Amino acid sequence: MSSETTFEERFLKSIPQLLNCAAFANKLRDSIDGPVSDWADERKRSDLLQSATNEGTLFDDAFNTYKECAQTVLTLGWTGGSAGNSGAIWLNNCEGIYIITSSDDDDMGPFSSLEDALAQECFGIASPDPELDSDILPRETLLEIARGVVDWENEGEIRVNSELFQVAGDELIPSAEK
């Protein structure tokens, strides 16, 4: 029997922290049992969450609520030029809980920090025609991530917030400067 926890088990453990987000708490409350006037009562809320866990519905309700409330921190997309060789990864955050979702792989996380999420292998694999987009992360952080997904062996390129960068030796430089 494996002692490794599943994504579902790890996510369920993050619910107490997510409940600190008023929007998450309100939407989860409404999805579990409709409007509950005594949701603020810790004991009654705990009983309601336990009841949902017993029914096996809490994960679905909570994860759907997370996806509604979370902010997209980063999108990594790629196009490989052939059918089935394109995809995307999204890094989302709600109340300091980071989750990576993907068009190709299982969900990853939750992670308790941005650094832990960005340390995942998916941000270190060269991708065909990669693109990074973020309204949140600074350019320096995006360029650091870009270094992990650009194809260095074939002098690749990557778009970072729509700006094209190209490999030049051991650097990424804006294509306008090449």
- The last residue of one of the domains, among 68, 86, 113, is 68
Q: What is the model's pLDDT at position 1?
A: 46
Asked if residue 136 is part of any domain, the answer here is yes
Q: What is the model's pLDDT at position 69?
A: 96
State the DSSP string of 51-79.
Answer: HHHHHT-HHHHHHHHHHHHPEEEEEEEEE
Shared-domain flag, residues 107 and 167: yes
Q: Which two tokens stand for residue 112?
A: 């308790």
Asked if residue 139 is part of any domain, the answer here is yes
Q: Closest Cα partner for 90 from 62, 61, 66?
A: 66
Q: Are 167 and 176 in contact (CB under 8 A)?
A: no
By mean pLDDT, which of 53-67, 108-122, 135-149 is the weakest? 53-67
Q: What is the model's pLDDT at position 50?
A: 64
- The last residue of one of the domains, among 31, 49, 68, is 68
The number of distinct structural domains making up the chain is 2
Is 41 or 113 the better-scoring residue by pLDDT?
A: 113
Q: Residue range 17-36: average pLDDT?
A: 80
- C-alpha pair distances (Å), 149 with each of 2, 137, 172: 32, 16, 12
Q: Residue range 124-145: average pLDDT?
A: 94
Asked if residue 109 is part of any domain, the answer here is yes
Amino acid at 130: P
Shared-domain flag, residues 169 and 149: yes
Shared-domain flag, residues 94 and 163: yes
pLDDT tens digit sequence for 42-91: 665 666 666 655 556 788 889 999 999 999 999 999 987 665 678 899 99
pLDDT tens digit sequence for 1-19: 456 889 998 998 899 899 8
Name the residue range of residue 170's domain. Answer: 73-177
